[in-house]
């Protein structure tokens, strides 16, 4: 591919050196066009997740501090570029997002950039690049959900993420793209978990056998996804779980067990055997941390919950068995 021209390089270096959040997609976009650069991931990296993610973080900070989000925005100093470039006003600025309408504008613009990139980085020939662009699309939906008040629309957005990621998992070779497959499976499992929570929240409004079947199906899909993720970590010869995981995989693996424990506890029928499976997952986490004390920092928040559930679940299981 053609190297970025001097104007493009100047813009990129100035963004990196400044305190300004990298939202000026249009600057990068226009510079790449004039310098013969192929549409790529750089187009959307400057305007997708950082903008929506930072904005949602600031809104949460405002809620914690009991102040108006506008006060946080006004209080931040915004450095300015000293460029004299004849560019039209970009749809994404350095201003933080405060509501759904603003978030939607950023979302649509970033999705356009991603789709433009995907038209060049097709799956056949650019597997890694195409998969990363699909992951960015998924994350854009995840960030937009924060600003969406309607549960039905939230569910639809997560369903879009599931369709995108599950389709990709079917097309990519696990043997040749193992690291990438692990990323996709873990994110897909998280999608099922979030969607299940939203559906359970809706359960009181749509209390029927059909709803219960949907919840059970979602739970099973979530379990299958995380079990498949964990199977990619097994020893290739013995097909068994290793005694020790590499540092980069400790948290994802333990979190996968944590998600599995939650999935098993959310079956509608609440059978003792499902809760026993949940208990086993919590025990797996605790046992691993006790064998490798230095890994406790990777699950600092989840570990105390696991310890508590190990104490509580046996009593609940016993009560359910007595009721039968």
Tens of pLDDT, residue by residue over 43-100, are: 444 444 555 666 677 666 666 666 665 555 544 444 555 556 555 666 666 778 888 8
Residue-level pLDDT at 75: 47
Identify whether the C-beta of residue 302 lies closer than 8 Å to the C-beta of residue 258.
yes
The pTM assigned to this predicted structure is 0.76
Q: 83-91: long-range contacts at Cβ-Cβ below 8 A with a sequence spacing of 24 or more?
A: 83/11, 83/14, 83/27, 85/7, 85/27, 85/30, 87/26, 87/27, 87/30, 88/26, 90/23, 90/24, 90/25, 90/26, 90/27, 91/26
Domain 94-232, CATH: 1.25.40
Confidence check: pLDDT of 283 > 90: yes
Q: Where are the domains of the chain?
A: 94-232, 233-323
User: In the structure, what pLDDT confidence band is assigned to residue 123 with cuts at 50, 70 and 90?
Assistant: very high
The answer to whether residue 260 scores a pLDDT higher than 50 is yes
């Amino acid at each position: 591919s053609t190297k970025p021209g001097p104007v493009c390089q100047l813009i990129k270096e100035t963004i990196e050196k400044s305190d300004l959040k990298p939202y000026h997609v249009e600057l990068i976009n226009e510079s790449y066009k004039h310098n013969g650069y192929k549409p790529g991931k750089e187009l959307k990296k400057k305007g997708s997740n950082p903008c929506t993610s930072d904005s949602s973080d600031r809104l949460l900070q405002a809620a914690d501090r009991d102040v108006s989000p506008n006060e946080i925005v006004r209080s931040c100093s915004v450095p300015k570029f000293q460029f004299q470039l004849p560019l039209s006003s970009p749809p994404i600025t350095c201003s933080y997002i405060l509501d759904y309408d603003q978030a939607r504008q950023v979302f649509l613009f970033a999705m356009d950039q991603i789709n433009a990139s995907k038209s060049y980085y097709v799956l056949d020939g650019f597997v890694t690049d195409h998969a990363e662009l699909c992951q960015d699309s998924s994350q854009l939906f995840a960030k937009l959900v924060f600003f969406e008040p309607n549960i039905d629309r939230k569910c639809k957005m997560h369903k879009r993420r599931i369709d995108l990621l599950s389709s990709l998992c079917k097309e990519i070779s696990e043997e040749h793209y193992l690291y990438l497959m692990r990323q996709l499976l873990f994110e897909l499992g998280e999608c099922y978990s979030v969607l299940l929570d939203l559906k359970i929240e809706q359960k009181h409004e749509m209390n029927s056998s059909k709803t219960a079947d949907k919840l059970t199906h979602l739970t099973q899909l979530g379990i299958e996804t995380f079990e498949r993720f964990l199977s990619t970590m097994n020893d290739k010869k013995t097909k068994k779980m290793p005694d020790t995981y590499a540092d980069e995989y400790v948290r994802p693996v333990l979190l996968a067990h944590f998600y599995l424990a939650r999935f098993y506890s959310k079956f509608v029928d609440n059978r003792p055997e499902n809760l026993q499976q949940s208990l086993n997952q919590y025990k797996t986490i605790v046992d691993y941390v006790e064998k490798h004390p230095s890994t406790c920092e990777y699950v600092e928040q989840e570990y105390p919950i696991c310890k508590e559930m190990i104490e509580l679940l046996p009593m609940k299981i016993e009560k359910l068995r007595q009721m039968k």
